[in-house]
């Protein structure tokens, strides 16, 4: 067996050089392995933790969230997010807030992946078509993005009652009328909002979607009657009302007929395909129709109001200074036919320990005045305005609506906040006085001028608010004072439509648009103020309510 030549035997120095090279190779492989493991852990954390904790975990398969890295559920989030609490508990020392090398690597890798994902799309931007042609729509529409309906309603709280169920999973569309309004914090989102990149309308969060919107028009729309409905958006002089057109004959008040042309109709025009069309909003009969005309009755009722308003306010000013608490008062109105309900409220509230010293009852007759005072309630009998109202149980629901307007208007004109409630309301628990809820300055509802309980009915008559006129809170300011002054001036409509509620809701909508009145209608499932819709849809809760009432 022959030995290798001396030159082929590695010397000691060459051996050290070989060992150094091997060490460098091993270190390089370890670094590569670490980066691969780091990237893998980032995506694994994002897929496992992000699936359970991300606010967008309910997105359907194939939907995109813009910006794609916004959920931050990778390794970097584990250092600075929820997992950091666990690390601190286990190690006993706080995690350094400075970004580590590992975090920098992860951030770079993730950004590079996004860059690579959209590189091809950006290179083709010159050949991509705009979602809205600049030549014909550049002055009115320049992009569109999606946000989750629940997200935008929660982010802004427009005041409208939010419907849950399937509709809460829908997306809302945000149209951008100027390029400068497009989001600037994410160039990929802005590009996809402006250009049709073949990946659909991008989905993002409300804050990002509106970050450059200095003004925003908000339109709530549905499809009442489930018809073949279209919506036209026309660039023109600004309008704050929605025109309604239908294929009907307004003279014959027909239902929808496809063979007819589209014609403008009242927003309350009925759309039942089986029966005749019905208008929910119609003008009062002419004053020339005689004494039965609602307009003439309205004029007659206003005369004693104008003649006596100063003396009434003077009397009430003295009373309210003694009754009001924190500049607020609870008001009710009642006639003899409803007196049993008033007694039920007073007895129930007293048994639960409520102090009723800040309640003022406006009786419409002497008999009810005596009953209310016998219950220990403060009363003000406005004889000049109330004496013509019916004493017995009203034959028509609208007969007592005039009194409902006055009893709220008077305290507001004197600068007092008002909690109005019908006499069929019952206070269930002593945990919290209703006024405390509305007067809480730290509440998210503190900036609203008027706050209503949900009525439970989403019919056209009560669109867009479905506000319950039997329980609401009004803060005394010039907006609410004029709102209820306007309601008084519309008492002819109250008589015509036989509804105080229907007229009030239309004024809420108009005054919100015209004067900036902040209107809030609580969702129908608000636990603090359960309405008839909760009782009818949740029988078990109804049984609990009865048990509370019975003590």
Q: Which residues contact 278 (CB under 8 A, 6 or more apart)?
A: 253, 269, 270, 272
pLDDT at 264: 94
In this structure, are residues 524 and 456 in contact, taking their beta carbons and an 8 Å threshold?
yes
SS3 string, 171-237, reads EEEEEECCHHHCCCCCHHHHHHHHECCCCCCCEECHHHHCCCCCCCCCCCCCCCCCCCCCCCCCCCC
**What does the domain layout of the chain look like in residue ranges?**
28-117, 134-209, 243-279, 288-550
For residues 390 and 403, give the distance between their C-alpha atoms in angstroms, rounded to a whole number. Answer: 11
Report residue 195 as tokens.
């250009």
For residues 385 and 407, give the distance between their C-alpha atoms in angstroms, rounded to a whole number. Answer: 11
pLDDT tens-digit readout, 90-123:
334 444 444 456 556 655 665 666 666 556 555 5
Alpha helices in 290-335 (DSSP H): 294-323
CA 471 to chain centre: 19
For the whole model, what pTM was predicted?
Answer: 0.72
Q: CATH for 288-550?
A: 3.90.550
DSSP secondary structure letters along 325-365? BTTEEEEEEE-GGGHHHHHHHHHHHHHTT---TTEEEEESS
For residues 441 and 303, give the distance between their C-alpha atoms in angstroms, rounded to a whole number. Answer: 40
pLDDT tens-digit readout, 234-264:
888 888 888 999 999 988 888 889 999 999 9
pLDDT tens-digit readout, 383-441:
988 877 766 555 445 557 889 999 999 999 999 999 999 999 988 876 678 888 898 88
């Amino acid at each position: 067996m022959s030995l290798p030549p001396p030159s082929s035997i590695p010397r000691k120095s060459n051996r050290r050089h070989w060992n150094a090279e091997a060490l460098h190779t091993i270190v390089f492989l370890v670094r590569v392995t670490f980066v691969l493991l780091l990237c893998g852990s980032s995506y694994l954390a994002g897929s496992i933790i992000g699936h359970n904790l991300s606010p967008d975990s309910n997105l359907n398969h194939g939907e995109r969230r813009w910006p794609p890295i916004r959920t931050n559920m990778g390794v970097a989030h584990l250092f600075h997010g929820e997992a950091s609490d666990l690390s601190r508990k286990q190690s006993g020392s706080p995690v350094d807030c400075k970004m580590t090398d590992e975090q920098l690597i992860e951030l770079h890798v993730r950004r590079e992946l996004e860059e690579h994902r959209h590189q091809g799309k950006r290179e083709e931007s010159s050949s991509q078509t705009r979602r809205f042609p600049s030549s014909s729509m550049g002055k009115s529409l320049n992009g569109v993005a999606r946000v989750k309906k629940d997200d935008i309603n929660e982010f802004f709280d427009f005041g409208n009652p939010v419907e849950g169920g399937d509709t809460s999973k829908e997306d809302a569309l945000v149209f951008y009328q100027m390029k400068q309004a497009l989001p600037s914090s994410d160039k990929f989102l802005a590009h996809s909002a402006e250009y049709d990149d073949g990946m659909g309308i991008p989905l993002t969060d409300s804050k990002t979607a509106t970050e450059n919107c200095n003004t925003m028009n908000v339109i709530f729309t549905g499809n009442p009657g489930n018809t073949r409905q279209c919506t036209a958006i026309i660039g023109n002089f600004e309008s704050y009302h929605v025109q309604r057109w239908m294929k009907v004959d307004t003279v014959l008040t027909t239902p929808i007929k496809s063979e007819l042309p589209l014609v403008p109709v009242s927003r309350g025009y009925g759309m039942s395909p089986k029966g005749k069309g019905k208008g929910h909003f119609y003008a009062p009969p002419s004053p020339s129709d005689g004494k039965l005309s609602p307009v003439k009755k309205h004029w007659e009722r206003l005369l004693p109001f104008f003649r006596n308003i100063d003396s009434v306010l003077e009397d009430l000013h003295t009373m309210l200074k003694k009754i009001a608490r924190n500049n607020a008062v609870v008001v009710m109105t009642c006639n003899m036919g409803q007196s049993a309900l008033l007694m039920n409220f007073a007895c129930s509230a007293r048994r639960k320990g409520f102090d009723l010293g800040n309640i003022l009852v406006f009786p419409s007759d002497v008999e009810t005045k005596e009953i209310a005072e016998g219950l220990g309630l403060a009363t003000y009998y406005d004889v000049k305005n109330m004496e013509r109202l019916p004493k017995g149980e009203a034959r028509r629901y609208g007969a007592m609506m005039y009194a409902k307007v006055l009893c709220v208007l008077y305290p507001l004109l004197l600068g007092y906040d008002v909690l109005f409630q019908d006499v069929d309301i019952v206070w269930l628990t002593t945990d919290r006085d209703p006024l405390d809820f509305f007067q809480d300055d730290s509440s998210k509802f503190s900036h609203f001028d008027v706050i209503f309980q949900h009525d439970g009915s989403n019919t056209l008559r009560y669109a867009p608010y479905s506000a319950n006129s039997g329980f609401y809170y009004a803060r005394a300011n010039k907006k609410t004072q004029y709102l209820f002054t306007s309601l008084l001036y519309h008492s002819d409509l109250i008589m015509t439509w036989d509804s105080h509620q229907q007229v009030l809701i239309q004024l809420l909508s108009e005054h919100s648009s015209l004067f900036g009145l902040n209107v809030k209608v609580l969702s129908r499932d608000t636990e603090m103020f359960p309405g008839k819709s909760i009782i009818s849809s949740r029988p078990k809760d109804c049984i609990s309510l009865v048990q509370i009432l019975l003590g």
